[in-house]
Amino acid sequence: MDKDNKLAIVTGANSGVGYEVTKGLLKNGFHVVMACRSVDKANHAKKQILAELPLSKLDVMSIDLSDFESIKDFAQEFKAKFQRLDILVNNAGVLLNKPRKNSADIEMQFATNHLGHFLLTSLLIDLMPDSKSSRVVSLSSLAHKKSEIYFDDLNCDSQTKWDAPYAQSKLACLMFADELQRKLALAGKKIISVSAHPGGTDSGLFDHMPPIFMSILRYTFVPIFLHSIENAAKPILKAALDSEVKGGQYFGPTGLLEMKGPPGIAKRTTYSQREDVAARLWTISEELVGASFKVE
C-alpha cells in the first residue's frame, strides 16, 4: 500500500523527540496521529508543523498514559475513526525528581512510561497489517543500564537514588519490546517490535528537575555531550522506517558514550536480555493494567 495511506501514532508528539519523529514520519508520507495529554499544546505543535509541512495529514487526539481509562477511551475513539495502524511509536515519557503515583497508586514513571504503552499496544495491535513494515517502536534510555526490575518494590519506595524509578521504567520499556517480539514470532506474525533510545538530548525531560540542577546541566553538560533533538529522533525513525530492521533490535546513537552520533545498534545490559525477567514483567503488567495482552 502507498505510504500516503499509511497511518502512524506518536505518543507525546507535541514536543521534544516526539515532535521531530512526527515530522520525520510526515516527510515520509505517513498520516500521523499526535497522541498527547495536552490537546492545547498538541494543537499548537500541529499548527507549527503544518506551517512547515502544509500538505501533511495530521490529527490530534487526547490521551493520558498514566490513566488506564484514558488509554481505553483513546483506543476506542481511534478504532471508531481509523481501520488500520501501521506504526505505533511509544515515545511519551516523564522524568520526575520526587515521588508521585497515579490514581491506581502505581509509581507515575512506571505507570506512564511502561504500563501505559503496554496497555495501548495491547488495544491497538490487532489493527496492524501483518507485514514487516508494521512496527511497534518502544523508547528506552541509556538509564536502563542502571536498573533492574524491582518486582518486590515496583514503586521504588525503598530505592535511595532519585532516578531509580525512571531507570526501571525505561528498562521495562526495553524488555517489553523484546518480549513482544518473541510473542509475535511465536504467533507467526511479521509485525516487528523494536526499541530505540535518543541518546543525550535536552528534550524537555529536564523540566521536572530542580531549577539549579537543570541550569547546570543545560549550560555545562548539554553542549559537550548532548546532540540536537533533530538528531536524537534519528534512531527512532530508523527503527520505524528502515526496511532492513529486524525484530528485537535496539537502536541509538553510536558516538561518544552513545550520547550522540549516527544511529545504529545500541548496547544493552545482560540483565535486560533475560527472558525470564521479561516474561514475569509481562504477566505483572497485565495484572497492573487489568487486561490480558494476547498475541494471536
- CB neighbours of 251 closer than 8 A, spacing ≥ 6? 194, 195, 196, 197, 235, 236, 238, 239, 263, 264, 265, 266
Residue 150 annotated among the catalytic residues of the structure: no
Instruction: Please state, in angstroms and as integers, the Cα–Cα distance from residue 42 to each residue in 49, 76, 247, following that order.
Output: 10, 20, 31
Catalytic residue chosen out of the listed positions 150, 166, 219, 250: 166
Ordered strands of the 87-90 beta sheet: 58-62, 31-36, 7-11, 87-90, 135-139, 192-196, 250-253, 263-265
* Residue numbers annotated as active site: 166
